[in-house]
């Protein structure tokens, strides 16, 4: 796992979900959506990166990625957050990683409901 490219892997996993594609199409954007994006969408960004090591070297790399569901409707934002959670939680073979929800919160910004899900990603 390349910790600096992990957000790209997260996007690929999200876009492999038929449920997410049905809900928002291909509107999964790095960091911020293009100006004037219409409808519901997802934004994602690598938030932090932790590296654990011993005197023998690095034994674990843990990037943290925020995935944000954005909608003008509160119920749809929650539904999209549920789809994100269901899609990303668990073990994956390619890349060989384990994704776990660490935290979540919600907000209301610019007349949009925001659901923020924070995931840690570890090598299996």
Reading the chain (124 residues) residue by residue, the pLDDT tens digits are 677 788 999 999 999 999 999 999 999 999 999 988 999 999 999 988 787 778 887 777 789 999 999 999 999 999 999 999 999 999 999 889 999 999 999 999 999 999 999 999 998 8
**3-state SS assignment for residue 115:** strand
Q: What is the pLDDT of residue 61?
A: 78
CB within 8 Å of 84: residues ≥ 6 apart: 14, 20, 42, 67, 69, 115, 117
**pLDDT given at position 44:** 96
| pLDDT at residue 107, rounded to an integer | 97
pTM value is 0.91
∠ Cα 114 43 52 (to 5°):
105
Query: Would strands 28-30 and 41-54 be described as parallel, antiparallel, or unpaired?
Result: parallel
What SS3 class is residue 103? strand
Closest of 53, 60, 64 to residue 6, by C-alpha: 64
Q: DSSP assignment of 16-75, as one string?
A: T-HHHHHHHTT-EEESSPPTT--S-EEEEEEEEEEEEEETTEEEEEEEEEEEEEEESSHH
What local confidence, expressed as pLDDT, does residue 52 receive?
78
């Amino acid at each position: 796992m390349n910790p600096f490219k992990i957000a790209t892997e997260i996007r690929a996993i999200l876009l492999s979900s038929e449920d997410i594609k049905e809900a928002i199409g291909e509107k999964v954007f790095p960091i911020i959506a293009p100006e004037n994006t219409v409808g519901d969408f997802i934004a994602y960004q690598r938030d932090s990166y932790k590296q654990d090591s011993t005197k023998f070297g690095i034994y674990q790399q843990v990037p943290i990625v925020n995935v944000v569901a954005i909608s003008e409707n509160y119920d749809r934002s929650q539904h999209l957050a549920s789809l994100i959670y269901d899609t990303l939680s668990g073990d994956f073979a390619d890349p060989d990683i384990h994704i776990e929800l660490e935290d979540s919160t919600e907000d209301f910004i610019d007349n949009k409901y925001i659901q923020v899900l924070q995931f840690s990603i570890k090598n299996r």
